[in-house]
Amino acid sequence: ALLGELASSGVAGVECAVCVPYPYLAQARALLDGGVLMLGAQDVSEYAVGAYTGEVSGAMLAEFGCRYAIVGHSERRALFGEDDAAVGRKAAAALAAGLTPIVCVGETLAEREGGVTLAVLERQLDAVAAVLGREALAGVVLAYEPVWAIGSGRSASIGQVGEAHAGIRAWLREHCARPADVPILYGGSVKPENAAELFSVDEVDGGLIGGASLVANDFLAICRAAADAQP
Ligand SMILES: O=C[C@H](O)COP(=O)(O)O
């Protein structure tokens, strides 16, 4: 459904990708081949090669046509013990394999209520910068995903998103060789109804869409909102 619609109507200036679970990569690649939608994975191993049973390396993902790998999604951090340093190593592994890592950062509700949102984002970003360095950092995509907004139906407010994205851009100016090259996506209950408003916020360069991406027409509406928000 996505391919048909995107091929006919297009979404000028917007890069769209689907990040599918590992077992579906081959099938997705066959469907997407030569089309306008790019392919990504939802995770990547921090190890390039070796005896790590069950791990999926960046080279394997590249072989299956992936352009992107999400790293540090809050569910990976919270449920699978991925700490900030591991997220940095995964980002490096993705880059080394020629993939663009989509590095997720975001605060929990307790951290937001404790007034430490920007400090948490900086801590998470510092760990990535420590592994990548200023040059390589310019090759990532960042995604601000407040944990409390993911899958909850409750997106962050415009003010909250604006403050976080401005903070991340300011951090990039200090730590990245080409800070303007790094897109900052917002994720957390993005829907057709709120996409235009979220994409109108300064420093919001796109979205990382979960639930709404499972409904083709909703995802398409969000892609169009991103196209309409182009400067
Ligand atoms: O992986 C996607 C993000 O975590 C956002 O999910 P959501 O749009 O269902 O809140």
Q: Among this protein's residues, is 111 annotated catalytic?
A: no
159 known member of a binding site: no
Best residue among 42, 43, 108, 150 to mutate for probing ligand 1's pocket (most ligand atoms within 8 Å of CB) is: 150
Indicate if ligand 1 lies below 6 Å from the C-beta of 72: no
State the amino acid at position 35 in one-letter form: G
Q: Virtual CA dihedral for 167, 143, 109, 73, nearest 10 degrees? A: -140
210 known member of a binding site: yes
Residue 206 and residue 204: Cα distance in Å, rounded?
6
CA atoms within 13 A on the CB side of 216: 7
Cβ pair 100, 19 in contact under 8 A: no
Query: pLDDT at position 8, please?
Result: 77
Query: pLDDT at position 1, please?
Result: 87
Tokens, residue 104? 């997720």
Query: pLDDT at position 7, please?
Result: 76
- Closest ligand 1 atom, residue 74 Cα: 4
Q: What is the 49 CA–ligand 1 centroid distance (Å)?
A: 30
Quickly list H helices, 43-199.
58-63, 74-79, 84-96, 109-113, 117-137, 158-175, 192-199
Instruction: Please report the ipTM that was assigned to this predicted complex.
Output: 0.97
Indicate if ligand 1 lies below 6 Å from the C-beta of 208: yes
State the amino acid at position 62 in one-letter form: A
DSSP string, 7-24: HHH--TT---EEEE-GGG
**pLDDT tens, N- to C-terminus, the chain (231 residues):** 888 888 777 777 899 999 999 999 999 999 998 788 999 999 999 999 999 999 999 999 999 999 999 999 999 999 999 999 999 999 999 999 999 999 999 999 999 999 999 999 999 999 999 999 999 999 999 999 999 999 998 889 999 999 999 999 999 999 999 999 999 999 999 999 999 999 999 999 999 999 999 999 999 999 999 999 987
Any residues with CB less than 8 A from the CB of 76 and at least 6 apart, and which?
Answer: 43, 82
Handedness of CA 134, 198, 155, 170 (dihedral sign): positive
Q: What is the 136 CA–ligand 1 centroid distance (Å)?
A: 26
Query: pLDDT at position 6, please?
Result: 81
Q: What is the CATH number of domain 2-6+14-228?
A: 3.20.20.70
Query: pLDDT at position 9, please?
Result: 73
- The catalytic residue among 82, 107, 145, 203 is 145
Query: pLDDT at position 18, please?
Result: 97
Residue 132 and residue 18: Cα distance in Å, rounded?
25
Residue nearest to atom 3 of ligand 1 (CA): 210
Residue nearest to atom 2 of ligand 1 (CA): 210
How many Cβ atoms are within 10 Å of 56's Cβ, its own excluded? 17
Cβ pair 181, 137 in contact under 8 A: no
The domains of the chain are located at 2-6+14-228
Cβ pair 145, 120 in contact under 8 A: no
Q: What is the DSSP letter of 225?
A: H
> At 112, which helix (H) or strand (E)?
helix 109-113
Burial class (CB in 10 A: 0-12, 13-18, 19+), 49: exposed
Q: Among this protein's residues, is 145 annotated catalytic?
A: yes
Would the pTM count as exceeding 0.95?
A: yes
